Amino acid sequence: MSPVRVAGAGLTPFGNVPERTGRDLFAEASTIAFEDSGVEREDVEAVFYGNFMGELSEHQGHQGPLMAEAAGVRAPATRYESACASSGVAVRDAVFRIRNGEADVVLVGGTERMTNLGTAGATEALAIAADDLWEVRAGMTFPGAYALMAQAYFAEYGGDREGLAHVAVKNHENALPNEKAQYRSEITVEDVLEAPQVSSPLGLYDSCPISDGAAALVLTSEAYAEEHGLEAPVAITGTGQGGDRMALHDRDYLARSPAASEASEEAYADAGVDAGDVDVAEVHDCFTIAEVLAIEALGLESVGEGISAARDGRTTADGDTPVNLSGGLKAKGHPVGATGASQIAEIAALLAGTHPNSEFVEGATTGVAHNAGGTVASATVHVLEVIP
């Protein structure tokens, strides 16, 4: 299968900018992506756009054509919604559109505007990614849901809050040189353990922030890249998607992520690689326990061993397989609809040697991006490789 080239990528800074609209944020990200790619806007044949809570945060549906207009593109546009995996799913469909020969150039990305809702409003909006009838009405929020997953993990495999704290410390350290990151501040294990509890065993520093931001990618076919002489050394060579039951009480597992395992197996097979080939990963660490579950689902750590990976240095910047060199959702931020596309942008930059943390993966050829929705009822995994 022909690889799909990442011709350009654009990110806004992630953070707290309640005065900016979603269309303003996506216009900025897409402008950066086009400038990075060297692709003309008129060559775009489709726009795939991820967004989760636009109806709640901006009273705005039908966002596909609106965001195409903001990007300065006249092409059919579709909005994708899969909770926090919205733009991961959008990227997957963009890959298929190009592979199938139906398009040579696709603009894909996503945006979320969240901070204008305030903490209570954003928490309520995020909660609708859970089962309203059986979870939300009972008072379930995502900190509570992931706390239950953490408790289940500790009960089944061992580990403790200190193991999770090392995940937070690692990702904050990785975010320090990343100008797009929301939190560029160093923290210690003691800071994490002494922070206010959110939902036991998770505390304030185990949780990602509420964020505003946008991400955009210009993806092209191999033929288009060659014909136009594009400098696009990184390609998406594998894509996978998995699913699980929505509500936690209906799951076969609380301490595993079957949807992510399915997605990674499909993506690895699609790319013709396996977990041992992965040099660097960006995973969906909305909470510290989520990174632990993700690296096990991706096969980067054995089941039950992920809790010690950051503490023992296996996933740190100088470890065997660095994870979340961007700072992850934990420190870079999590504007929900933008996250999946932003992870692709980070891996592409790391592999191309243009990321502020590329020094830690010099010579790396293979990376993965893992994007999850809700409590991982949906998940996408993409394999990126350096292609001569």
Residue 1 banded pLDDT, cuts 50, 70, 90: low
Q: What is the CATH number of the domain that holds 47?
A: 3.40.47.10
Query: What is the domain extent for residue 360?
Result: 4-117+209-386
Q: What's the structural domain count of the chain?
A: 1
| Neighbour count for residue 274 (Cβ, 10 Å) | 12
Bridge partner residues of 235 (DSSP):
5, 385
CA–CA dist 263, 280 (Å, integer): 17
Compute the average pLDDT of residues 39-67: 98
Tell me, yes or no, whether 131 lies in a domain.
no
Positions annotated as catalytic residues are 84, 334
CA atoms within 13 A on the CB side of 145: 27
Q: Using CB atoms within 10 A of its CB, is residue 350 exposed (0-12), middle (13-18) or buried (19+)?
A: buried
Tell me, yes or no, whether 160 lies in a domain.
no
Tell me, yes or no, whether 327 lies in a domain.
yes
Tell me, yes or no, whether 165 lies in a domain.
no
Angle at 378 between CA 372 and CA 380, to 5 degrees: 60
**pLDDT per position as a tens digit, 241-298:** 999 999 999 999 999 999 999 999 999 999 999 999 999 999 999 999 999 999 999 9
Pairing relationship of beta strands 4-11 and 213-220 according to DSSP bridges: antiparallel
**pLDDT per position as a tens digit, 322-331:** 999 999 999 9
Pairing relationship of beta strands 213-220 and 105-112 according to DSSP bridges: antiparallel
CA–CA dist 139, 262 (Å, integer): 30
pLDDT at 388: 80
Tell me, yes or no, whether 135 lies in a domain.
no
pLDDT, greater one: 308 or 1: 308
pLDDT at 174: 98
**pLDDT per position as a tens digit, 95-149:** 999 999 999 999 999 999 999 999 999 999 999 999 999 999 999 999 999 999 9
In DSSP notation, 319-384 reads: SSS-B-TT-HHHHH---GGGHHHHHHHHHHHHHHT-STTGGGGTT--EEEEEEEETTTTEEEEEEE
CA–CA dist 110, 127 (Å, integer): 20
Closest to 298 measured CA to CA, from 232, 381, 239: 381
Three-class SS state of 198: strand
Tell me, yes or no, whether 332 lies in a domain.
yes
- Is the pLDDT at 11 greater than 70? The verdict is yes
pLDDT at 18: 97
Compute the average pLDDT of residues 327-354: 98
pLDDT at 2: 78
Tell me, yes or no, whether 196 lies in a domain.
no
**pLDDT per position as a tens digit, 196-244:** 999 999 999 999 999 999 999 999 999 999 999 999 999 999 999 999 9
Tell me, yes or no, whether 136 lies in a domain.
no
E-strand stretches of the chain: 4-11, 46-50, 77-80, 105-112, 197-199, 202-203, 213-220, 234-243, 280-282, 366-373, 378-386
